[in-house]
Amino acid sequence: MASPLDQFKVKCIALCGEGGQLQAFSFTNASLFMVLSVVGAVVLMVYGMRQRSLVPGRLQSVAELSYEFVANMVRENVGPNGRQYFPFIFSLFIFVLMANMLGMVPYSFTVTSHIIVTFALAIVVFLGITAIAIVRNGIHFFTHFMPAGVPMWLAPIIVPIEIISYLSRPISLSLRLCANMLAGHTTLKVFAGFIVSMIGMGGVMSASGILPLIMVTALTALEFLIAFLQAYVFAILTCLYLAEAVNMEHH
Amino acid sequence: MAEQDRPTAGSSDAEDPALAKLERDLQGVRERQAEEKAKRRPDADPRQTATVGKAWSLAIEMVAAVGVSVFIGWWLDRWLGTTPWGLVGFILLGIAAAMWSAIRTGMMMQRQQLADSERGAKKEGD
C-alpha cells in the first residue's frame, strides 16, 4: 500500500531532465496546482462577474461574498490606511484558499502542504510589510523594537527579544499553514488506509471497516473547515502586521 | 369553575390558555436545549475548534521564535568563531522572546474575547 506521505511527492511534468529527474526549472505537479489555483481565482472573479447583475447568480454571489469578506477584514483590522493594500491581501487570501480547496479534491496535490511554498508567501509578506513600514515611518520604524514606556536599562534585553520575535513572524506564518495542511492530509490518508486493512481482515471483522469510513467522512468535513480557516488566518495575520506598519503612532 | 377559566372577549393575552400552553411548551424546549448544550462535549462545538487553532498558533509561534534565535546564534558563531556562546545566548533570548510573544498574543486573544462577550451581552439585552 502507498505510504500516506506519497501524496506530497513532487513529480516532474514538463521540462524534465533525464529519466524524469527534477531540474531547476522543471514544471512539476506543484507548479501545475499553483497555476490551477490562479486560474481558478481568475475564473471565479472574471467569469463570475461577467453579467454584473443586480441580483447575483451563484458564482457572482461567491465572488461578491469573498470580496466583501476580505474588504471587511482589511477595514476592521487595518483601518482607512489599509485601503490601498486591499488587492494584495485579497490575492493572497484567494490564492491560499484556492490552493487549500484544490488540495481537497481526491488525487490532487496540496501546494500549501510544502513549507517552501508557504515560506515564499510569508517572506514576501514579511519583506513587503517591512519595506512599507520603513518607507512610511522612516527611522521611526525602529522604535518598534523599543516599546514606549520601557526603562532604558531594560533595552539590552528587550531590543534583541523584540527583534527575534519580529524575525520569527515569517517562520510562524508559514509553519502554521504548512503544518495544518500537512497534518490534516496525512491523517486523512492514514484513516483511509485503515478502511482497506480492516476490510481485509476477512469474515465478520470486515464489517468493522465502516468505523474508519465514518471517521474519514467526519475528518474530511473538518479538513474543509481547516482549509478555509487557515487561508483566513494567513490573511488576517497579514492584516495585523500591516496594521502595525501603517498605523505606527508618532510620538 | 370551568367558566372562569374560559377567556372572555377582551381579556389580556396572558390569560389566554392557548398562549399559556405555548409558553409552557416553549419553556420546555428551551430547557431541553440548554440541557443538551450542557451535555455536549466542548470539542464538538465549531467555535471550540477555532480555539484549538488558536492554541496551535501559540505553540507554533513559540517554536518559531526559538528556531529563529537558534539559527541566528549558530550563524553568528560560525561567523565570529565564538562557539558555543552565541548559540547559548541566543537560545536563552529565543526562549524569552517565545514566552513574551505568547503572553502578548494570549493577552490580545483575551481582550478580543472580552470585547466579543460584551458585544454578545449587549445584543441579548436589546
pLDDT digit string, tens, across residues A58-86: 899 999 999 999 999 999 889 888 889 99
Residue B43 or residue B105, greater confidence: B105
- CB-CB: which of A157, A176, A225 is closest to B60? A176
**In the block, which residue shows the cell 490564492?**
A95
Q: What percent of chain B lies above the pLDDT cut of 70?
A: 71
Measured at the CA of A41, the angle between CA A37 and CA A43, to 5 degrees, comes to 115
Distance CA A231, CA A234 (A): 5
Q: Is B45 strand, coil or helix?
A: coil
B79: which residues sit within 8 A by CB, 6+ positions away? none
What was the pLDDT predicted at A135?
Answer: 93
**In Å, what is the CA distance from A65 to each residue of A45, A70, A235, A243?**
11, 9, 16, 23
- pLDDT of residue A109 exceeding 90, the answer is yes
What was the pLDDT predicted at B3?
Answer: 46
Distance CA B19, CA B30 (A): 16
Would you call B49 and A180 a contact, using CB atoms and an 8 Å cutoff? no
- CB-CB: which of A157, A160, A168 is closest to B64? A168
Give the number of residues written for chain A.
251
DSSP H helices, B6-84, are 17-39, 46-80
**In the block, which residue shows the cell 381579556?**
B11
Would you call B100 and A161 a contact, using CB atoms and an 8 Å cutoff? yes
- pLDDT of residue A89 exceeding 90, the answer is yes
Distance CA B57, CA A240 (A): 15
**What backbone phi and psi angles, to 5 degrees, belong to A12?**
-85, 140
Would you call A229 and B53 a contact, using CB atoms and an 8 Å cutoff? yes
What was the pLDDT predicted at A11?
Answer: 86
Residues of B contacting chain A (CB within 8 angstroms): 46, 49-50, 53, 56-57, 60-61, 63-65, 67-69, 72, 90, 93-94, 96-98, 100-101
- pLDDT of residue B26 exceeding 50, the answer is yes
**In Å, what is the CA distance from B124 to each residue of A85, A201, B6, B29, B117?**
36, 55, 35, 19, 10
DSSP H helices, A28-154, are 29-42, 58-77, 86-103, 115-137
Contacts of A225 in chain B (CB under 8 A): 46, 49
The CB-based long-range contact list for A43-50 (8 Å cut-off, 24+ gap) reads A44/A94, A45/A94
What was the pLDDT predicted at B2?
Answer: 47
Handedness of CA B45, B46, B52, B54 (dihedral sign): negative
- Tell me the mean pLDDT in the region A100-113: 93
- pLDDT of residue B10 exceeding 60, the answer is no
B101: which residues sit within 8 A by CB, 6+ positions away? A165, A168, B61, B62, B65
Quote the minimal CA–CA distance from B95 to chain A in Å. Answer: 9
What was the pLDDT predicted at A70?
Answer: 94
Please state the pTM of the whole predicted model: 0.79
pLDDT in tens, A156-212: 888 888 899 899 999 999 999 999 999 999 999 999 999 988 888 888 888 888 899
Pull the grid cell for residue A96: 491560499
